[in-house]
Amino acid sequence: MTVPNIITSLPGPKAKALIERDARAVSPSYTRDYPFVMARGEGAVVEDVDGNLFLDCAAGIAVSSTGHSHPEVVQAIVDQAQKFLHMSGTDFYYEPQIKLAENMAGIVPIDGPVRSFFANSGTEAVEAAIKLARYHTKRQYIIAFFGSFHGRTLGSLALTASKPVHRKGFGPMMPGVCHAPFAECYRCPLNLKPETCSAECLGFIEDQIFMHLVTPDEVAAIVFEPIQGEGGYIVPPQQFIDRLRALTRQHGILLVADEVQSGMGRTGKMFACEHYGVKADIVTVAKGIASGMPLGIMSAPRDIMAWPPGSHASTFGGNPVSSVAAIATIKILRETLVRNAAEVGAHLMTGLRELQQRHPIIGDVRGKGLMIGIELVRDRVTKERAIEERNAVVHAMFRRGVLVLGAGKNAVRLSPPLVLTKAQADTVLKLLDESLTEVTAAVAKR
- Which residues contact residue 286 at a Cβ distance below 8 angstroms, ignoring those fewer than 6 apart? 119, 121, 122, 125, 260, 295, 296, 297
pLDDT of amino acid 444: 86
CATH number, domain 13-70+337-444: 3.90.1150.10
pLDDT at position 386: 97
Tens of each residue's pLDDT in the chain, 446 residues: 799 999 999 999 999 999 999 999 999 999 999 999 999 999 999 999 999 999 999 999 999 999 999 999 999 999 999 999 999 999 999 999 999 999 999 999 999 999 999 999 999 999 999 999 999 999 999 999 999 999 999 999 999 999 999 999 999 999 999 999 999 999 998 888 877 787 889 999 999 999 999 999 999 999 999 999 999 999 999 999 999 999 999 999 999 999 999 999 999 999 999 999 999 999 999 999 999 999 999 999 999 999 999 999 999 999 999 999 999 999 999 999 999 999 999 999 999 999 999 999 999 999 999 999 999 999 999 999 999 999 999 999 999 999 999 999 999 999 999 999 999 999 999 999 999 999 999 988 87
The domain defined by 72-333 carries CATH number 3.40.640.10: yes
Q: What DSSP line would sit under 129-181, residue for residue?
A: HHHHHHHHH---EEEEETT----SSHHHHHH--S-HHHHTTSPSPPSSEEEE-
Give the closest residue to 337 by CA, choosing from 41, 67, 104, 100: 67
User: What pLDDT score does 240 carry?
Assistant: 95
Predicted confidence at residue 330, as pLDDT, reads 98
Single out the residue of 171, 155, 166 nearest to residue 123, CA to CA: 155
Segments of the chain assigned to CATH 3.90.1150.10: 13-70+337-444
pLDDT at 194: 79
Identify the pLDDT of residue 193: 83
pLDDT at 156: 97
C-alpha torsion angle, residues 345, 351, 354, 360 (rounded to 10): -80
pTM for this predicted structure: 0.96
pLDDT at 338: 98
Contact 368, 267 (CB under 8 A): yes
- Total count of residues recorded for the chain: 446
Cα separation, 181 vs 188, whole angstroms: 9
Proportion of the chain in helix, strand, coil states, percent, rounded to 5: 40, 20, 40
Q: Which long-range contacts (CB under 8 A, 24 or more apart) does 185-193 make?
A: 185/236, 185/237, 186/234, 186/363, 186/364, 186/366, 186/375, 186/383, 187/383, 189/146
Q: Where in the chain is the domain with CATH 3.40.640.10?
A: 72-333
Are 54 and 48 spatial neighbours (Cβ–Cβ below 8 Å)?
A: yes
Return the closest-CA partner of residue 223 out of 160, 277, 270, 286. 160
* Euclidean distance between CA atoms 98 and 93, whole angstroms: 8
pLDDT confidence of residue 366 = 98
Res 399: pLDDT: 98
